Amino acid sequence: MNQNRGKKRITVYDTTLRDGAQGEGIHFSTQDKLSYVKRIEEMGSLYVEAGWPGANPKDDNFFQLLREQNFPTVRIAAFGSTCKVGESPENSDILLKLLASGAQTITIFGKAWDLHVRDVLRTNSEENLRLIRESVSFLAQQGREVFFDAEHFFDGFKENPDYALKCISAALEAGAAISILCDTNGGSLPADIARGVEAVKREFAPQELGIHVHNDSGLAVANSLVAVEAGVTQVQGTWNGFGERCGNANLSTLIPLLQIKGNYSVVSESALLKITPFSRFVAELSNAPFDEKQPYVGRSAFAHKAGMHVDAILKNQRTFEHMDPAEVGNERRILISDQAGKANILERLQRFVPDILKEDPRVEKAMLEIKELENNGFQFEAAEGSLDLLMVRILNGFTSPFEVLDYHVWSDPLRGELDSVAVVKVKVGEETVQIASEGNGPVNALDTALRQALAGFFPILEQSELVNYKVRVLDGSRGTEAIVRVIIDTRLGHEVWGTIGVSKNILKASAQALLDALNWTIWKFEGAREVTD
């Protein structure tokens, strides 16, 4: 059954690889970009703006690769500008390279704000209209689909509405398939967007229009929604909201918002289910931090911490969830923290023993143990691996298959690289192994030594990798004698889990977190992982 039937269709134009890459700290290699396009095929029919041909050799090379391969469900767009002041399109290096890219869709931007015409192009209004008209017309005559980005449309419309509309008119008359109204500086309010879109609709209906906004006022998603409500049918944006300054409209938010809340048809139902993992994939590809608080797709988006919320959720999920997390491929998480109650813990134990009852003494036991640990500075909401290990221990499902007999660390920070050495001694069954290992800093040396000592016995450990390491000083007012909390995230395949250690000694806290990570990997992925009740 197609749940999109009968709904108004909105097209997504994805500029992650171009405008997204203009964000601070965002870089994609050619190989990254290729992985991106391959993977985004799953997300259904989308426009993907692949780069600016001629801007750098990397982008040219990428368009070449795209020509050699076939991506049936993705429509590749090349991005560039109009020809230059005083230039004719036939002689424009910019336009010729756009054609040479082979992209079937070409998006060019032109100035729609007279301030830019005067101060940046340093020409007159008529010449700017000529650049738009002749550039669009030249590309359209070559049989390409031409999109016109009306740069700074909303700022221009505010200061000189007639001229802003003339720029749109020039592009459309010259054969642009769609004109995209841009809030390039991100300073417009929803009311400005509505006014601008409505004016263009009045003048050019039933012409199809697009929206491209930035998040400088924290309104990129709202402004895109307002534009769609005012009649725009193409939304431009980037995954995770990457982009220049505060970023572009965030597709990870906007797509579910339009489809689920707004009742538009944007992507297929199956693509919607992949939005959570895809957003995370894009962050990993660009090596940018993933915002876990992101609406819809963040790890915290459906995470409940307050005990009263958890209690209510278990009675009726609508009480504290605005939608079903599964619709976007995300999941509910019940956090165990000092704000949690018995309901949170029961829910966790039931993952291992589904029919355990609230009255079972082990529920009380787990709660007391967790409260005790929390009083000592443990905090399980970001350490679900340690939490589950505790749960299976209490359910009698687990004892560690190894023992750490001893470990020491020696550090000489003035020595440069590999300035630390760790020595560990572990016992597995009847066998005892002692290993020494160097590292950058004492924690890294210890980590390396422990893994080396155990990987021979438990080969699964070689498949897992440590993906994150966090340290927090609890009540730092006791200075360097303060208690330290370490959280480590480990990945195996698609699964990521956190483990925790707490101590006055940062090495000991790190060792605890690390040992939990190793134990949980072994329990979960190697050998019997049944809890016999």
Q: Which of residues 76-135 bind its own copies (CB under 8 A)?
A: 115-116, 119-120
Give 455's Cβ-side CA count (13 Å radius): 12
Assess 185 for contact with its own copies (CB under 8 A).
yes
Q: Classify strands 46-51 and 11-14 as parallel, antiparallel or unpaired.
A: parallel
Per CB under 8 A, does 194 bind its own copies?
no
Q: Which of 127, 203, 205, 322 binds its own copies (CB under 8 A)?
A: 322
Output the DSSP codes for 150-195: EETHHHHHHH-HHHHHHHHHHHHHTT-SEEEEEETTS---HHHHHH
For position 221 contacting its own copies by CB under 8 A, the verdict is: yes
Instruction: Supply the minimum distance, in Å, between the C-beta of residue 144 and its own copies.
Output: 23
- The verdict on 442 binding its own copies (CB under 8 A) reads yes
Interface with its own copies (CB under 8 A), residue total: 122
Q: Please, what is the Cα angle at 73 between 495 and 50, to 5 degrees?
A: 80
> Strand pairing partners for 500?
487
Q: Does 64 bind its own copies (CB under 8 A)?
A: no
In the complex, the smallest distance separating the C-beta of residue 365 from its own copies, rounded to whole angstroms, is: 21
Quote the radius of gyration of the chain (alpha carbons, Å): 28
User: 231 burial class (0-12, 13-18, 19+ CB within 10 angstroms)?
Assistant: middle
Nearer to its own copies, 466 or 531 (CB): 466
Task: Please select the residue that binds its own copies; options are 84, 201, 305, 362, rule is CB under 8 A.
Answer: 305
In this chain, which of 304, 310, 518, 524 binds its own copies, going by CB under 8 A? 304
**In angstroms, what is the minimal distance from the CB of 279 to its own copies?**
13
Q: Which amino acid is present at 159?
A: E
Per CB under 8 A, which of residues 464..503 are in contact with its own copies? Answer: 465-477, 479-482, 484, 488-489, 503
Decide: is 294 part of the binding site for its own copies (CB under 8 A).
Answer: yes
Q: Which is nearer to its own copies, 285 or 392 (CB)?
A: 285
247 binds its own copies (CB under 8 A): yes
The minimum distance between CB 267 and its own copies, in angstroms, equals: 17
Q: Considering beta carbons, is residue 170 or 446 the nearer one to its own copies?
A: 446
- Interface with its own copies (CB under 8 A), residue from 204, 281, 320, 457: 320
**Under rule CB under 8 A, residue 251 binds its own copies:** no
The residue among 144 and 214 lying less far from its own copies, judged by its C-beta, is: 214
Tell me which H or E stretch contains 388. Answer: helix 384-394
Question: Which pair of structure tokens corresponds to residue 434?
Answer: 């002692």
Query: Which of these, 399, 390, 397, 335, lies nearest to 368 by C-alpha position?
Result: 390
Residue 38 touches its own copies, criterion: CB under 8 A: no
Q: Which residues contact 96 (CB under 8 A, 6 or more apart)?
A: none
| DSSP-based helix, strand, coil % in the chain, nearest 5 | 45, 20, 35
Among 289, 354, 429, 459, binds its own copies (CB under 8 A): 289
One residue of 413, 429, 459, 493 binding its own copies per CB under 8 A = 413
Q: What is the DSSP string of 482-533?
A: SEEEEEEEEEETTEEEEEEEEESSHHHHHHHHHHHHHHHHHHHHSS------
Q: Quick check: 303 binds its own copies (CB under 8 A)?
A: yes
Which whole-number Å values give the CA distances from 372 to 9, 367, 376, 474, in the listed order? 54, 9, 7, 16
DSSP strands (E only) in 100-143 = 105-111
Which one of 92-100, 170-178, 362-370, 410-418 is the stretch in contact with its own copies (CB under 8 A)? Answer: 410-418
- Is position 203 an interface residue for its own copies (rule: CB under 8 A)? no
CB of 427 to its own copies, least distance (A): 14
Q: Is 347 in the site for its own copies (CB under 8 A)?
A: no
**Residues 365, 495, 247, 38, Cα dihedral to 10°:** -160
Of the pair 235, 392, the CB lying nearest its own copies is at: 235
**Residue 29 sits in the site that holds its own copies (CB under 8 A):** yes
Residue type, 37: V
* Residue 390, Cβ density class (10 Å: 0-12 exposed, 13-18 middle, ≥19 buried): buried
Using rule CB under 8 A, residue 39 touches its own copies: no
Q: Which stretch binds its own copies (CB under 8 A): 161-169, 230-238, 358-366, 461-469?
A: 461-469
Cα–Cα distance measured from residue 255 to residue 16, given in angstroms and rounded to the nearest whole number? 14
Choices 61-69, 90-98, 132-140, 507-515 (CB under 8 A): range interacting with its own copies: 507-515
Amino acid of residue 144? R
Q: Which window, 70-78, 140-148, 290-298, 344-352, contacts its own copies (CB under 8 A)?
A: 290-298
Interface positions, 124-183, toward its own copies (CB under 8 A) = none
Among 135, 184, 437, 499, binds its own copies (CB under 8 A): 184
Residue 463 in contact with its own copies, rule: CB under 8 A: no
Applying the rule CB under 8 A, the residues between 366 and 405 that interact with its own copies are: 379, 381-382
Stretch that binds its own copies, among 4-12, 68-76, 241-249, 454-462 (CB under 8 A): 241-249
Residue 419 contacts its own copies per CB under 8 A: yes
Q: How far is residue 174 CA from its own chain's centroid? A: 38
Of 279 and 392, nearer to its own copies (C-beta) is 279
Site membership for its own copies, residue 235 (CB under 8 A)? no
Query: Shortest Cβ distance from residue 333 to its own copies (Å)?
Result: 8
All residues at 6 or more sequence positions from 453 whose CB lies less than 8 Å from its CB, including other chains: 424, 425, 426, 433, 434, 435
Q: Classify residue 261 by its DSSP letter.
A: I
Cβ-contact 450, 511 below 8 angstroms: yes
Smallest Cα–Cα separation from 301: which of 253, 249, 245, 235? 253
